[in-house]
Amino acid sequence: MISITKNDKRDDGRKFDEIRPLKIEAGVLERADGSAYLEVGGNKILVAVYGPRESYIRRLLKPNTGVIRCRYNMAPFSVDDRKRPGPDRRSTEISKIAAEALRPSLMLEGFPRSMVDVFIEIIEAEGGTRCAGITAASVALADAGIPMKDLVVGCAAGKVNDEIVLDLSEKEDKEGQADVPIAMMSRTEEITLLQSDGNLSEDEFKKALDLAMEGCRQVNKVQIEALKTKHAQDVESES
Q: Which positions lie near other proteins, rule CB under 8 A? A: 27, 33-34, 50-54, 105, 107, 110-114, 142-151, 185-187, 224, 227-228, 230-232, 234-235, 239
Contact 159, 165 (CB under 8 A): yes
Nearest-approach distance from CB 196 to other proteins, in angstroms:
27
Nearest-approach distance from CB 113 to other proteins, in angstroms:
6
Collect all residues with Cβ–Cβ distance below 8 Å to 84 and sequence separation of at least 6: 76
Nearer to other proteins among residue 52 and residue 176 (C-beta) = 52
Nearest-approach distance from CB 219 to other proteins, in angstroms:
15
Nearer to other proteins among residue 82 and residue 228 (C-beta) = 228
Angle between helices 129-143 and 202-238 (to 10 degrees): 30
Nearest-approach distance from CB 137 to other proteins, in angstroms:
14
Nearer to other proteins among residue 98 and residue 115 (C-beta) = 115
Nearer to other proteins among residue 185 and residue 211 (C-beta) = 185
Longest alpha-carbon distance in the chain = 58
Helix or strand run (H / E) with residue 22: strand 22-26
Nearest-approach distance from CB 26 to other proteins, in angstroms:
8
Measure the CA–CA gap between 37 and 105, rounded to whole angstroms: 20
- Three-state secondary-structure class, residue 220: helix
* Beta-carbon-side half-sphere exposure of residue 126 (alpha carbons within 13 Å): 14
Nearer to other proteins among residue 19 and residue 151 (C-beta) = 151
